[in-house]
Amino acid sequence: MSYRVNAGQIGADHWLNDPALGGGCLKGEACHFVDFLCDQAAADPLTVSAAGFPSLPGLALAAYDNFTLQLRFGDGTTGTITYAADAPTGPGKERFETSSPGSFAVIEDFKRGAIWQPRKRGLGGRGQDKGFAGQYRAIAAIAAGEAEPPAPESFVISTLATLAAARSLASGNPEAVVRPAQ
């Protein structure tokens, strides 16, 4: 899996760049892309490797806004997130690609996509849908007792993977996604 994000640059004084308030772009925004990859994978992440650099002088290590993460999952799957604050916006903000034997899929800015199995089938093309409306409907159904909430473990593992990515960015080494003792 590959997820490319052209996030755009924000000011050094933006709350997201404050390690105490926003946690930097990795913890404050890229966590959502880590969660997406964890949701798409068939197994939990085991290790994360990260490397990056700041687009603005003086950004704290925790606020680096150009980085690449590589997640290795328990079934051998890998996922890469490339997050850039200073890349040109022409290619669009987000692109996700994935493949498996006999299949390939791409999503462009959550506006359109395609699946090849082996023939191409187009998806979307009408407007951007990042799932917010569906998420609110799901929350309302849970609140009304009409649906069960998702298992908390799914949120925990992506959070642990994000924290491992932050450790890897600081250490320069691959870091294990460590689950707390049961």
Q: How far apart are CA 63 and CA 55, in angstroms?
A: 10
Retrieve residue 137's tokens. 């409907």
Domain residue spans in the chain? Answer: 2-173
Residue count of the chain:
182
Helix (H/G/I), strand (E/B), else coil: 74 = coil
Q: How far apart are CA 180 and CA 46, in angstroms?
A: 13
Q: How far apart are CA 11 and CA 168, in angstroms?
A: 24
Q: What is the model's pLDDT at position 23?
A: 83
Q: What is the model's pLDDT at position 36?
A: 93
Residues of the chain predicted below pLDDT 70: 182
Distances from the Cα of 65 to the Cαs of 10, 53, 57, 94, in angstroms? 9, 7, 11, 15
Distances from the Cα of 83 to the Cαs of 29, 86, 96, 147, in angstroms? 10, 9, 12, 35
Buried b (16+ CB within 10 A) or exposed e, 30-60: bbebbbbbbeebeebbbbbbbebebbeeebe
Q: What is the model's pLDDT at position 70?
A: 98
Assigned CATH for 2-173: 3.30.360.10
Residue 130 neighbours by CB under 8 Å, 6+ apart: 110
Q: What is the pTM of this model?
A: 0.87
Q: What is the model's pLDDT at position 173?
A: 97
Q: What is the model's pLDDT at position 24?
A: 87
Q: What is the model's pLDDT at position 128?
A: 75
